[in-house]
A and B are shown apart, each in its own frame.
Chain A
């Protein structure tokens, strides 16, 4: 059993011996777990609709604050990383493009960065214009 400090092991695995496939796999796992946790909270909030419009509006009001809108940038980033990497896995599995898996990872990463730049700009502009520059 390797008794290396976990941070040393992470440094060895992800920086010294950077491997695109493993990094994509680990990030897919982490974003997947985050999305399951978010999904359960989302089901709880949206599920309030079964108790009528008053419950739903009260639940939604709690998560439609500037602070939560800013957190949505992270949520969209996590969703679209998982979605694009999942699409990459489907392409690799179904089209025989496994030799291009590294190139696909970087193409999708660049697409994600550009898309998230646009999304963050859009959400922050909207939030800051409605709050007069304050986020809370």
Chain B
């Protein structure tokens, strides 16, 4: 296996690019729906009603969107932290904290969407 593929950094870099491409569509659509198409105040009932019109689409949409966004945001934050060249122990603690925040935020987001989908 070539050295470049063995490097974890390259894999993170690659997924940062893949999620960026996904977010152009998913985040763009999310913003257009919420800020340009929606009318009136957003409530639990109004979101549930919108989701009920096409539950399969919205489930697939947010189950790809949320993990992609969390990865892209926290991996981006990691890149910024690493640029300050912190000592190894700080890297380990921040890396673990980012993983914990990422997993928690993903689960919370998916659970919130599931609640509004009624599943």
Contact = CB atoms under 8 A, between A and B. Distances in A.
Report, as a range, how many residues of chain A touch the other chain. 20 to 34
Looking at chain A's contact residues, the main secondary structure is: helix
Interface stretch (A3-11, A15-23, A35-43, A104-112): A35-43
Interface of A: 29, 32-33, 35-36, 39-40, 43, 46-50, 52-53, 56-57, 60-61, 64, 72, 76, 79, 83, 86-87, 89-90, 93, 119, 122-123
Contacts of A47: 108-109, 111-112
Nearest to A63: B42
Interface string B32-75: 00011000011111000000000000000000000001000110
Contacts, number: 73
Per CB-CB distance, the 8 closest pairs between chain A and chain B, nearest first, are A53-B44, A49-B112, A47-B108, A56-B44, A49-B115, A50-B111, A43-B105, A32-B76
Interface string B76-114: 110010000000000000000000010001001101110
Interface of B: 17, 20-21, 23-24, 27-28, 31, 35-36, 41-45, 69, 73-74, 76-77, 80, 101, 105, 108-109, 111-113, 115-116
